[in-house]
Structure 1
Amino acid sequence: MMSSCVRRSMPAIRLLAIAAAALVAAWSGLAMAQSYPARPITLIVPFPPGGPTDTSARLIAKALAERLKQAVVIDNRAGAGGTLGIVAAAKAAADGHTLVWAGTSFAIAAAYGREVGYDPVKSFAHIGLVARGQQVLIGRLNLAHASLKDLVAASKSAPGRMTYGSVGAGSAPHLVAEYFKSVSGADLVHVPYKGGAQSLNDLQGGHIDVMFNTVTLLAPHIKAGRVKAYAVTGRSRDPLLPQVATIGEALNVDFESYFWMGLASPAGTPAAIVGRLSAELNQALADRQLREAMLQQGLEPAGGTPESFERTIVQEMKKWSAVIKAQGIKPE
């Protein structure tokens, strides 16, 4: 029969065993972080090469490679609105040698409440918010309405006639337009396209009236006088389009929307490695040349902690889930 002394000591023994296991895990993670990175790092970008998402990812990959003294290789995994690459990243080894470029679609896809193969919060270790940027509402040149206020009033006076294009049903520009409709009361009919180039061509050709897309993509067309700019979506004016008011300014409403991008790694990546990557990312984003390069792309460098990035993702999911539900939006 076990003595009472031995019985009393069992909880202490279990606690010691747990503490020892935790210590071993901590030392193991620390040792891994000290030798990290042991080989080239793969950065999965869930979109095709050449676009603004890819371009900004390459800027960060280069900066991290210089700081980590190891190659950071871009792996473009386009498909399923970005989901294909994100799922591949979620399934990768959690050793810090596979990262993913997590953008707005990272949260939007899951905000529909359907199975997408990953959970934006639970499937990843969040490293940091890299940057954010604004969208801009543009119209065809021969649209008669001089201001956003006039545009909204005209749409209300002729329900079902004014159209807006998007890069696809369920995309970020589609959701921003529906959010704008809910706040402003504008009456706009959605015309979905398969990408930004086609929607922009049709707007310039007079087949649709207005559209939202990123300042990065549309600023050159605005500056060249090919389209009208009505308003940007942020809290303050965009440095690339300082003459264009915000939606909040133009309509005296509470409106704010940004697209964003950040870095994440598979869930289970050792905290020491996540901390190292977060620190290196913040140092890279403090570099004047990198900041200038990002600003020229219409991006506002961000930075911050893994925890603050995770909060951003959670807030974005809640925001877009509410818009999706209220407006009855269906993905493609």
Structure 2
Amino acid sequence: MTSRRTLLKLAAGSTALSPLGTALAQAWPAAKPITLIVPWPPGGSTDRHLRALSEIAGKHLGQTIVIDNKPGAGGTLGPGVMALTAKPDGYTIAQFPMGMLRIPHMQKVQWNPLTDFSFILGVSGYTFGFTVKADSPYKSFNDYIEAARKAPGKVDYGSTGVGTSPHLLMEEVAANAKVQLTHVPYKGNADLQQALLGGHVQAQSDATGWDKFVDSGQMRLLVTFGEQRTKRWPEVPTAKELGYGVVASSPYGLVAPKGMDPAVLKALHDAYKKALEDPKHLEVLAQLNQDVWYRNGDEYAAWARETYAKDKALIERLGLAAK
């Protein structure tokens, strides 16, 4: 009798613990639309990418995925708010930009980038470039750096925020070139583009939100920051080949609050993985000059741990670590 009772308890326990046995997994996502927090203003390259990707993923899930733009704090405001306030019920997820692994080394935050999130999957990385207005006196990136050398602190550039990849890669350039640049942070690349076009900043470091302005002749692309020249702008040199020793792609992916039901987490992963491979999504990536950077949840979490440790050393070397 004891043995039979023990077996019944074990069976009941395994059913309760089984992701497929939970009421949440059975009901989700029928109750309401899923919200994806994009921590940048509407209209920028990340917003454009994740809207297209989520529209396809939503079809695989049979539920609408709504984009909620929450810019601020170098792309960490939105995911940080989610970690602190959202329920782990599968109805709120967020983009996880590189700043999430850097800002905690630079200032105090209320969330932990490694333990307060469930990692869904890695998605893509950026093509970063440095642009000026078409009528700028800087015809090349070397022209810009030489101007900074002659007038320390008087030559500026904008980025998508303190601690973001566009900011840190330029800090690396400045350190390697031994020049002093003035950094002007913005909430996102849509705001940054308008600031440059309006003459409020001399140049900008950003992902490919500038693509249409470069192609239309309103901006001049001086340099890109990949390992190789881009397919779309092959005439533009890389910072590496110019001798500045900086290469960056800043991979990003999607996360949920910690404590997610494994079955819901897998369903989100599977839907977004199918969307990643969809020809319509690949067409959007080609427009943005980005590549697929797929990692499953475990691989993405392992990459985040490694990057968090590595970037701590970078931030300390640049003198940007919290005192």
Could you tell me which residue of structure 1 aligns to residue 272 of structure 2? 281
Which of the residues 123, 126, 145 maps onto 1:130? 123
Instruction: Report the CA distance between 1:212 and its aligned residue.
Output: 1.0
* Structure 1: tracts of 5 or more residues without a match: 1-14
Seen in structure 2, the aligned counterparts of structure 1 residues 284 and 141 have a Cα distance that, compared at 3 Å, is closer
Seen in structure 2, the aligned counterparts of structure 1 residues 144 and 76 have a Cα distance that, compared at 3 Å, is closer
Could you tell me which residue of structure 2 aligns to residue 225 of structure 1? 217
Instruction: Report the CA distance between 1:62 and its aligned residue.
Output: 1.1
Which of the residues 58, 62, 66 maps onto 1:69? 62
Instruction: Specify the SS of the correspondent of 2:59.
Output: helix
Q: Find the aligned partners of 2:151 and 2:69 in 1 and give their Cα distance.
A: 44
* Contact 1:152-1:186 within 8 A present in 2 as well: no
For the aligned residue pairs, the C-alpha RMSD in angstroms reads 3.4
Aligned partner letter, 2:37: I
The CA deviation string for residues 227-266 of structure 1, in whole angstroms up to 9 with x for no partner, is 3322211122233322222211222x64321234311111
Instruction: Specify the SS of the correspondent of 2:223.
Output: strand
Q: Find the aligned partners of 2:199 and 2:35 in 1 and give their Cα distance.
A: 43
Which of the residues 256, 267, 271 maps onto 1:265? 256
Could you tell me which residue of structure 2 aligns to residue 95 of structure 1? 89
Seen in structure 2, the aligned counterparts of structure 1 residues 70 and 144 have a Cα distance that, compared at 3 Å, is closer
* Contact 2:45-2:207 within 8 A present in 1 as well: no
Could you tell me which residue of structure 1 aligns to residue 21 of structure 2? 31
Instruction: Specify the SS of the correspondent of 1:281.
Output: helix
Could you tell me which residue of structure 2 aligns to residue 43 of structure 1? 36
Q: Find the aligned partners of 2:312 and 2:7 in 1 and give their Cα distance.
A: 45
User: Which protein shows a greater Rg?
Assistant: 1
Seen in structure 2, the aligned counterparts of structure 1 residues 46 and 223 have a Cα distance that, compared at 3 Å, is closer
Query: Which has the larger displacement, 55-64 or 69-78?
Result: 69-78
Report percent identity of matched pairs: 28
* Contact 1:219-1:240 within 8 A present in 2 as well: no
* Contact 1:163-1:188 within 8 A present in 2 as well: no
Aligned partner letter, 1:89: M
* Contact 2:225-2:246 within 8 A present in 1 as well: yes
The CA deviation string for residues 3-60 of structure 1, in whole angstroms up to 9 with x for no partner, is xxxxxxxxxxxx9999768734542x12244554242322222333333332222222
Which of the residues 112, 129, 139 maps onto 1:119? 112
Aligned partner letter, 1:31: G
Is 1:55 paired with 2:45?
no
TM alignment of 1:178-257, pairs within 5 A: 178-182=171-175, 184-195=176-187, 196=189, 209-215=202-208, 217-251=209-243, 254-257=245-248
Instruction: Report the CA distance between 1:277 and its aligned residue.
Output: 1.9
Instruction: Specify the SS of the correspondent of 1:259.
Output: coil
Instruction: Specify the SS of the correspondent of 1:100.
Output: strand
Seen in structure 2, the aligned counterparts of structure 1 residues 20 and 113 have a Cα distance that, compared at 3 Å, is farther
The CA deviation string for residues 93-133 of structure 1, in whole angstroms up to 9 with x for no partner, is 22222211222333333232512x22111001100111111
* Contact 1:127-1:305 within 8 A present in 2 as well: yes
Instruction: Report the CA distance between 1:164 and its aligned residue.
Output: 3.1
Instruction: Report the CA distance between 1:206 and its aligned residue.
Output: 6.9
The CA deviation string for residues 258-310 of structure 1, in whole angstroms up to 9 with x for no partner, is 23431111111122322232222212111112111222133322222112222
Instruction: Report the CA distance between 1:87 and its aligned residue.
Output: 3.0
Instruction: Count matched residues.
Output: 313
